[in-house]
Amino acid sequence: MRKGDTVSEKPLENLVNEGQTFPPPAEFAAQANGTADLYDKADADPEGFWAEQARTYLTWSKPFTQSLDWSNPPFAKWFADGELNACVNAVDRHVEEGRGDKVAIHFVGEPEGDTRDITYADLHAEVQRAANALADLGIGKGDTVAIYLPMIPEAAVAMLACARLGAPHSVVFGGFSAEALHSRINDAECKVVITADGGYRRGAPSALKPAVDAALDHGDTSVEHVLVVRRTGQDTAWNDRDLWWHEALEKAAPTHEAQAFEAEHPLFILYTSGTTGKPKGIFHTTGGYLTQCAYTNAVVHDVHRDTDVYWCTADIGWVTGHSYIVYGPMTNGVTQVMYEGTPDTPHQGRWWEIVQDHKVTILYTAPTAVRTFMKWGTDIPAKFDMSSLRLLGSVGEPINPEAWLWYHRNIGGDRAPIVDTWWQTETGAIMISPLPGVTTLEPGSAQKPIPGISAEILDDEGQPFTEAEKVGYLVLTKPWPAMLRGIWGDPERYKQTYWSRFGEKYYFAGDGAKYDDKGNIWLLGRVDDVMNVSGHRLSTAEIESALVSHPKVAEAAVVGATDDTTGQAICAFVILRQEFVEEADEPGEGKDLVQELRNHVGNEIGPIAKPRSIMIVSELPKTRSGKIMRRLLRDVAEGREVGDVTTLADSSVMDLIKTGMSSE
């Protein structure tokens, strides 16, 4: 530890070995929304329990009479005869109930001093105009709208305006490339794209609109109009289909009467990586999704509307931003912080400065961020007053105990409980997590399914077990309100992907898991070919297909190798087409080619998908049936002794690869 650190003298390494647990502080427990009796209530009657949450957290235009309809598994319906409007729940009713002056969003732009406070009344005015502007462009119930924006309040307004009209939105993360945007727009047949000239990242404006132009220049598009938010003011090419967002909103009527939609009306589509090269359009509906988002935001994040300042650092382009920036917290009428930029701009204490300035009480972030801050050093957060923080959250990948303890001490002041929340794009909302006022925390484990959720661990034969330390597959055993309702346009793939590995009774999450001797669940990472890089989900197949789309590449294999900061890192092994092998062998050429291939993947998918390393090889290790043995490549990528090679068709291949490695 460095001199001058204000934390206790006990070295972190000792704590890690102690297996120390953290009971809820009495003061916290006394005010917590999530109480122990919820577990018993939910166990006794899960469907009744969820119906009660749906009535507690939401305003229904037409009350429902039925909770779950599971007559056609795996296609669930929740609260199906009820009607509501998601935007009215997230915005209008707070204004109607007299909370219009309450700040909904403290927006912090990346450029210093670029801040804006937006009240619920402001949001209400904006969503009405935005809904009218979209309606003027022909958007109505069932039309799909793509949203490709930086982290600015307009992103939330755009989503809510779509919801208001019953038009499912498909938000594409601003870090995705034109190619990725193109395939997502086409798969969902979007009629309108909402984008911006650009956003601020790492101290400079970064253009977004050119990617939309490139995506639509393919000519095969369903898109009729592009609405462009002016954020950076940078020069922007203009087409006939383009309209400025501020002009369209100014022209639109100021009031919009929201219509109620069936609880099962699709709210949004969100693409995520699966085990094949083609991303899946996960779609969620309205009533059940909102119920679980609002309930978990209350009992897990413990938000108290009148006193908390909540901050979820995720991008709105991921499911975490959907559920825990927009739909959960806004339905609960919470005041939150939204930050546009990177954590080290203009200095590495930017986040902690924001916590100090806005007296943030609840912070929800990802382990990869925590590990980055650990590397930057404890003296950075120590410079700021973060005594307002009373709860911390983690999501996206397992948080290793060392990072947990660092987070607890240096950010949470040894005082704030940490909720390690396991869930997925598919589950829509938090599934496994401590309740911060009830659970004795076990660093590194997400612990127990929350009240209302049931999970089990199965062995290879599909048998549930409870023995400690035995590794198996995590499954969910009962339908839950926020569950995905399918893959957009592909019900067969939905059944195949999630409900076939262990039969129709079990939702297969794709994660390995084990119990400890106290019955806590420990998540052990993906068991399929899905990688988790800085909490972002990428499939090996998707990156392989990007690599082989390059004219010089004949074959590619991609593995995720353990990485101290990002969790996993992408490592590619590439076989070149014959005519390019000699070129690559010339002195200095290999490096250029590797750079060219990395950039190519960046263009095909986005910068987050660029491999950390690319190795040019002459062969790949394959079984006799032609399946690539990734396990062996992972050994190479992680610098281990290569494991058992007896099932390889040609056992000398690994020697070739290792020789190539050492001559790099």
* Binding stretches for ligand WT7 (CB under 6 A): 272, 319-320, 395-398, 420-425, 446, 509-511, 523, 526, 532, 535, 537
144/394 with CB nearer ligand WT7:
394
314/615 with CB nearer ligand WT7:
314
Tell me how crowded residue 178 is: count the other CB atoms within 10 A of its CB. Answer: 19
Q: What is 491-514 written as a DSSP string?
A: HHHHHHHHSSTT-TT-EEEEEEEE
* Cβ at position 511, least distance to ligand WT7 in Å: 5
204 is known to lie in a ligand binding site? yes
206/424 with CB nearer ligand WT7:
424
C-alpha distances out from residue 134 to 157, 181, 193, 213, Å: 12, 20, 10, 20
* Cβ at position 534, least distance to ligand WT7 in Å: 11
202 is known to lie in a ligand binding site? yes
598 is known to lie in a ligand binding site? no
Instruction: Say how far apart CA 188 and CA 190 lie, in whole Å.
Output: 6
Instruction: Say how far apart CA 430 and CA 155 lie, in whole Å.
Output: 22
* Cβ at position 457, least distance to ligand WT7 in Å: 14
Tokens of 309: 């300042």
Instruction: Say how far apart CA 435 and CA 420 lie, in whole Å.
Output: 10
- Distance of alpha carbon 41 from its chain centroid, rounded? 30
How does strand 567-576 pair with strand 198-201?
Answer: unpaired
Instruction: List residues bridging with 337 in a β-sheet.
Output: 106, 311
420 is known to lie in a ligand binding site? yes
* Cβ at position 314, least distance to ligand WT7 in Å: 7
* Cβ at position 490, least distance to ligand WT7 in Å: 17
* Cβ at position 316, least distance to ligand WT7 in Å: 13
* Cβ at position 370, least distance to ligand WT7 in Å: 12
Instruction: Say how far apart CA 270 and CA 184 lie, in whole Å.
Output: 9
296/425 with CB nearer ligand WT7:
425
Q: What is 514-564 written as a DSSP string?
A: EE-TTS-EEEEEESSSEEEETTEEEEHHHHHHHHHTSTTEEEEEEEEEEET
50 is known to lie in a ligand binding site? no
Looking up tokens 């597959």 gives 473
* Cβ at position 502, least distance to ligand WT7 in Å: 16
Quote the DSSP letter at residue 72.
Answer: S
398 is known to lie in a ligand binding site? yes
130/531 with CB nearer ligand WT7:
531
82/398 with CB nearer ligand WT7:
398
Tokens of 221: 């598009």
Instruction: Say how far apart CA 332 and CA 362 lie, in whole Å.
Output: 14
201 is known to lie in a ligand binding site? yes
Looking up tokens 């022909």 gives 138
139/319 with CB nearer ligand WT7:
319
* Cβ at position 426, least distance to ligand WT7 in Å: 7
Backbone angles phi, psi at 225, to 5 degrees: -140, 150
425 is known to lie in a ligand binding site? yes
64/364 with CB nearer ligand WT7:
364
Residue 60, CA atoms < 13 Å, CB-side half-sphere:
22
Instruction: Say how far apart CA 303 and CA 100 lie, in whole Å.
Output: 19
* Cβ at position 120, least distance to ligand WT7 in Å: 26
Q: Which residue, 476, 478, 480, 321, is CA-closest to 395?
A: 321
537 is known to lie in a ligand binding site? yes
526 is known to lie in a ligand binding site? yes
320 is known to lie in a ligand binding site? yes
422/573 with CB nearer ligand WT7:
422
Tokens of 560: 């995720």
534 is known to lie in a ligand binding site? yes
548 is known to lie in a ligand binding site? yes
The amino acid sitting at 48 is: G
Tell me how crowded residue 42 is: count the other CB atoms within 10 A of its CB. Answer: 21
535/606 with CB nearer ligand WT7:
535
Tell me how crowded residue 287 is: count the other CB atoms within 10 A of its CB. Answer: 27
Which residues contribute to the annotated binding site for ATP? 396-398, 420-425, 511, 526, 537
Which residues contribute to the annotated binding site? 201-204, 320, 396-398, 420-425, 511, 526, 534, 537, 548, 550, 553
Which residues contribute to the annotated binding site for Mg(2+)? 548, 550, 553
Which residues contribute to the annotated binding site for CoA? 201-204, 320, 534
